[in-house]
Structure 1
């Protein structure tokens, strides 16, 4: 079974929407206005402003994703998920590595993210990757209560 981390292409649109709606629903989170925009227009929200979207494909099927959104000093890591059937294969780590490599290649000074304290496996991954916790700050997401960054 081979898994590849690839750049988002227009043919990934339906999978992108499915993956993101699934993790939000699975987590018991509402699909907020900012979520809807990024699900419906991934090119406009992420790629058009210099960000990236990575898709984890297993035997041609999209089983995970993660995006980078351009921010003043670097990138925000956003919309990371792996399907339940593909968890435990190290794909979230590979997606995060792709994000960090892309950020470094772009000359970014930092990676930033917002998440929810209930997503403990994700937080453990971020901590193991060198992200540190930040004080709370204003956010457009009602669910965001954990804020982290990694200096590059």
Structure 2
């Protein structure tokens, strides 16, 4: 397995993987579609997407994007069902987090749902702490975590 930064040839994999994952558990919402339909703009604004690749197939993917001041978000984190348990999700999550920190993020946030136990476990393993939800971008969001960098 190899962890790589965004390459155009995997753009559709990123979109489809995230759509499939969201629709398996929830409903695609307006903010999801904004992000998935505007990857090029997000990338030009500083976002980065990572892929775990094996035999030219995407196992997992994760995006990090600046959201305001020196706060970044880790978002659009999905793993192929057939690749679960290989460590691909944790690897792309770490790559995205490292990228945000390298770009001088002072705080990294995650918006999620309490039902996603494997993802929550990954967040906690990297030191993220649950905080009150402060957005209304997603109906499904009932969990927010943040990592203050440098403390």
Please give the range of the TM-score, normalised by the shorter of the 2 chains: over 0.9
Checking the alignment, whether the CA contact within 8 Å between 1:19 and 1:63 is kept in structure 2 is no
Tell me the CA shift for residue 103 of structure 1.
1.5
From 119, 125, 135, the equivalent of 1:122 is: 119
**CA–CA distance in 1 between the matches of 2:115 and 2:135?**
19
**In the alignment, what sits opposite 1:94?**
91
CA shift digits 1:58-88 (9 cap, x unpaired): 1111121100110222310001011111010
**In the alignment, what sits opposite 1:77?**
74
**TM-score, scaled to structure 1:** 0.92
SS in 2 for 1:147: strand
- 61-70 or 99-108: bigger deviation: 99-108
From 44, 47, 58, the equivalent of 2:54 is: 58
Please list every run of at least 4 consecutive aligned residues from structure 1 whose deviation after the TM superposition is greater than 3 angstroms.
none
**In the alignment, what sits opposite 2:5?**
7
Tell me the CA shift for residue 138 of structure 1.
2.4
Pairing 1:110–2:145 present: no
**CA–CA distance in 2 between the matches of 1:42 and 1:70?**
13
Checking the alignment, whether the CA contact within 8 Å between 1:51 and 1:75 is kept in structure 2 is no
**CA–CA distance in 1 between the matches of 2:58 and 2:48?**
16
Tell me the CA shift for residue 136 of structure 1.
2.1
In structure 1, the gaps of 5 or more residues are: none
The RMSD of aligned alpha carbons is 1.2
**TM-score, scaled to structure 2:** 0.92
In structure 2, the gaps of 5 or more residues are: none
Checking the alignment, whether the CA contact within 8 Å between 1:32 and 1:141 is kept in structure 2 is yes
Checking the alignment, whether the CA contact within 8 Å between 1:4 and 1:57 is kept in structure 2 is yes
